[in-house]
């Protein structure tokens, strides 16, 4: 009985994506970063998912540009803490020093996550109630925010698997 249930779930999972792609558009079946089968930037995805007006798109871009600039020190601290972990391990430092480097990294990662979620909250505020009520768009935005400020040069890129 369990085998049949697992087989059914696997079959549904493997057939769901091609059907969603045939329908086209940026529907719930599309993987993040794809819009109608093409790679899309974060701003393009947010615009399509929330159906942003021209003015809303401009405001979202300005908000994310500003947040990206504000994330510079957190991003630098995160990268430095990551390097410190590697250096401590490579130099065969004691466990206490490695633990201290890991703790520092955790603090920087938490600061980055806090910045990302604060920015998501700011992004949602000016939207119309119907746009905020679009749960699929909110999920897309939540996923897109993770790691959005890791690239020092730009935030509006095709999402990738970068993480901290």
Residue 72's pLDDT is 97
Q: Apex CA 33: angle with CA 109 and CA 64, to 5°?
A: 50
Q: What domains can you pick out in the chain, each with its CATH number?
A: 31-145 (1.20.120.1490)
Show the DSSP H helices in 125-158 as ranges: 129-132, 135-145
Residue 38's pLDDT is 65
Torsion sign across C-alpha atoms 64, 54, 36, 13: positive
Residue 152's pLDDT is 93
pTM of the model: 0.73
Q: Residue 160 — very low, low, confident or very high, per pLDDT cuts 50/70/90?
A: confident
Higher pLDDT, 147 or 10: 147
Single out the residue of 137, 164, 163 nearest to residue 82, CA to CA: 164
d(CA 146, CA 28): 19
Pair 160, 143: CB distance under 8 Å: no
Residue 159's pLDDT is 87
- Report the pLDDT averaged over residues 125-140: 95
d(CA 5, CA 13): 12
Q: Residue 2 — very low, low, confident or very high, per pLDDT cuts 50/70/90?
A: very low
Write the pLDDT tens digit of every residue in 8-53: 444 444 444 333 433 334 444 445 555 555 689 999 999 999 999 9
Write the pLDDT tens digit of every residue in 66-111: 999 999 999 999 999 999 999 999 999 999 999 999 999 999 999 9
């Amino acid at each position: 009985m369990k085998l049949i249930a697992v087989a059914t779930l696997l079959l549904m999972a493997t057939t769901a994506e091609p059907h969603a792609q045939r329908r086209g558009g940026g529907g719930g079946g599309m993987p993040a970063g794809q819009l109608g089968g093409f790679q899309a930037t974060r701003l393009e995805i947010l615009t399509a998912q929330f159906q942003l007006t021209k003015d809303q798109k401009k405001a979202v871009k300005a908000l994310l540009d500003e947040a990206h600039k504000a994330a510079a020190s957190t991003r630098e601290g995160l990268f430095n803490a990551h390097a410190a972990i590697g250096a401590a391990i490579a130099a065969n430092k004691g466990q206490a020093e490695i633990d201290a480097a890991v703790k520092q990294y955790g603090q920087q990662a938490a600061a980055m996550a806090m910045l990302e979620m604060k920015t998501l909250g700011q992004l949602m505020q000016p939207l119309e109630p119907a746009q905020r009520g679009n749960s699929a768009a909110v999920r897309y935005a939540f996923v897109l925010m993770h790691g959005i400020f890791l690239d020092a040069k730009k935030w509006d890129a095709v999402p990738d698997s970068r993480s901290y």
